[in-house]
A and B are shown apart, each in its own frame.
Chain A
Amino acid sequence: MSLTLEADALECQRGERVLFRGLSFSLAPGEMLEVTGPNGSGKTSLLRMLCGLLSPTAGEIRWQGSNIRSLKEEYLKGLAYLGHANGVKAELSAVENMRISCGLDGNNPDGQKIGSALRRMGLGGREKLPAKQLSQGQQRRLALARLLVGGKALWILDEPLTALDADAVRLVQTVIGEHLGGGGMAVLTTHQQLDVRAGSTRRIDLAGAGGH
């Protein structure tokens, strides 16, 4: 079975409101899905659904042809998620944060790989500082550095550019481009215009996708 992510007739209902309904798409290696829409249109809910954190009201999500609910941990092996919150522990240093996320992924933390990922994200020289001493943007960079060492096939990124400066935005675009070029996939939401050179981009606009 080829490496694809498919969504079939997804519906999301939060409370009384239907945020979207009948949402279908598929994503192949080297492709990126950009989810757009106004605030409150269900972008984050869609991304959390794709991670399996939120179950769709109707429809299903398939990874390599099987429903992600039955794949469970098997699916999570190929998935990296960056949410609104960075998932960075403020008490731990950048390196410790990275080591733990590697360890939890089932990989032995590789000091060199972690060091080069941190330097690439512009955190060189700040590896040993507790993350609470880093700025918002630097913490976001740290969260993004996790993607570089994870080696996951599917990246799900919720507003990855929040709090980043212009240099970092360019860097993230390059990194996503390389990921797609290497046969990876990405689903992301953003309010900024992304300019990713490699791979092909699909867009889904959630505005007005809900019914009543």
Chain B
Amino acid sequence: MLATLRWVIQRDTTLAWRGRAGVLSTLFFFVIVVSLFPLGVGPEMNVLRMIAPGVVWVAALLASMLSLDRMFAHDYLDGSLEQLMLTPQPLSLVVMGKIIAHWLATGAPLALIAPLLGVQFDLPPRALLVLVASLLLGTPALSLIGAIGAALTLGLRGGGVLVSLLVLPLCIPVLIFGAGAVEASISGASAEPHLSLLGAVLLLALLFAPWATAAALRISLE
């Protein structure tokens, strides 16, 4: 079982590495959107500090949406998704591997680059740490929830927009708790309750999403 998971992760991370342009464009999107705000709003430190958590988190959310079509669409087109579905292992396990690989290629780099962007908003060091922690907890949940939408809209025309419409409402709790954690830390309160709730959302998504995605894939491929 674990060997299968390892093979799927290795396969998808290799593919992501060979197709770096796609991964990098997501990351650049995130960097540019976040950097536009200090330029647009102007160097008013108090305002910037106030909007920082929301801006970074909304940008992270949009960047994850942008990368969702990569999760299954290419494999669907070249027939390798069918081959993956015929792997003699539970499909939810294969799906889990793909989600982990997707997160490693999008969510993780995003979380790691976020403190650099936070500096533009004059965030204190503690808030920067909380920002990274909240993104590390929140982006896997985004990949998990997004996978369901990506699987449901597979092969549909205009699937990219549809997947955002489907998934964004489900991602609102992640956005609220993620941005809330950073806000709390800026205002000197404890970020822990927000992070715990974010962790709870992640656990819930871990439990539910691979299974739901597998079911959605079966329907999409019929």
A contact residues vs B (CB 8 Å cutoff): 51-55, 73-74, 76-77, 79, 81, 83-92, 96, 100-101, 103-106, 130
Which one, A91, A104, A130, contacts B87 given CB within 8 A?
A104
Q: Is the CB of B83 within 8 A of A101?
A: yes
Residue of B nearest to A131 (CB): B78
B137 located at the interface, meaning its Cβ lies under 8 Å from any Cβ of chain A in the complex: no
Q: Is the CB of A53 within 8 A of B80?
A: no
Main secondary structure of the interface of B (DSSP, over half): helix
Number of residue pairs across A and B with beta carbons under 8 Å? 78
Selected interface stretch from B4-12, B50-58, B103-111: B4-12
Question: How far apart sit A81 and B87, CA to CA, in the bound complex (Å)?
Answer: 10
B contact residues vs A (CB 8 Å cutoff): 3-4, 6-8, 10-11, 14-15, 18-19, 77-80, 82-90, 94, 221-222
Q: Is the CB of B11 within 8 A of A85?
A: no
Question: How far apart sit A75 and B8, CA to CA, in the bound complex (Å)?
Answer: 21
Q: Is the CB of B86 within 8 A of A103?
A: no
Which one, A52, A84, A100, A105, contacts B79 given CB within 8 A?
A84
Chain A residues, CB < 8 A from B86: 51-53, 76, 79, 81
Chain B residues, CB < 8 A from A53: 82, 85-86, 221-222
Which one, A73, A88, A91, contacts B19 given CB within 8 A?
A91
Residue of A nearest to B97 (CB): A104
Nearest CB of chain B from residue A139's CB, rounded to whole Å: 10
Which one, A83, A103, A106, A130, contacts B82 given CB within 8 A?
A83
Instruction: Supply 7 further A-B pairs (C-beta < 8 A) apart from A86-B79, A88-B78, A101-B83.
Output: A77-B88, A85-B79, A85-B80, A92-B18, A103-B3, A106-B88, A106-B89
Residue of A nearest to B89 (CB): A73
Nearest CB of chain B from residue A114's CB, rounded to whole Å: 15
